[in-house]
Amino acid sequence: MNRTDLISQIRAKKSFLCIGLDSDMTKIPAHLLKKHDPVYEFNKQIIDATHDLAVAYKPNLAFYESRGVLGWNSLARTFHYLKKFDVFTIADAKRGDIGNTSAQYANAFFNPEQSGLDFDAVTVAPYMGEDSVKPFLGFPDKWVVLLALTSNKGSDDFQLIKDADSGQKLYEQVLIKSQQWGTADNMMYVVGATKAEMLTRVRELVPDHFLLVPGVGAQGGSLQEVAKYGLTKDCGLLVNSSRNIIFASQEKDFAKKAREEAVRMQAEMAGILDAGC
């Protein structure tokens, strides 16, 4: 899905909601555990209940890879089910390695003839530099979602370190340097909602790029604050919610409760979009 298509989806649905499919087997409702593929059955019902409200879905690969072959099968089935709907798909894999290895990771998520998967985007760690990122950018209409300023507590350990000469923080250097590798049409950045007060600086450096924003909901981030500092004329935001939606209930009504939470978030987003872009 290219940038124009993504913006069209946001405007059509009046939503910039991304639902994280962090489908933890220990939290899936007990009645689904009797199914042949509980994770897929859980994901399918979440998707059925929310696809008209969300513009994107983001399976977190850890919850699939940890289950070995069974997990990869659940991921593949979930991906192919998502393809029935006009939604943006993000493989939250946080890959990044030397060039030839990154090329294989890119094939894993972007080359359906090789892997059977054809995600729209993949999350990538920038620590190893340009040659670890560029292989992901070689696929038309595919996106790199580069980790820049994350929402976890430990992000301060490195991301906020200042360079002695330039005075720039590490995340600022990532934003500046990476624009030499990709464009606003094929690169997004992860900026955590718990860092909303820093979005003004982020937007000074990347005024037109989309931002994938985790941390709203369970991690305490504010949707209104994110929109206040991060919204652009094209929206420019994908705000991710995982646990607040998919585990709104762990009973048989889980899909209904997930929809209720998604409806609440979409309504808030619609108000923001009507007022802002």
Phi, psi of 62, rounded to the nearest 5 degrees: -60, -35
Residues counted in the chain: 277
- In eight-state DSSP terms, residue 141 is T
Eight-class DSSP state of 55? S
Residue type, 141: D
- Give the burial class of 165: count Cβ atoms within 10 A of its Cβ; 0-12 exposed, 13-18 middle, 19 or more buried: exposed
Q: Write out the catalytic residue numbers.
A: 94
Question: What does the radius of gyration of the chain's CA atoms come to, in whole angstroms?
Answer: 18
Helix extents (H) in the chain: 3-13, 38-50, 62-65, 68-82, 99-110, 112-115, 130-133, 170-178, 199-205, 223-230, 243-246, 254-276
| Helix count and strand count (H, E) for the chain | 12, 8
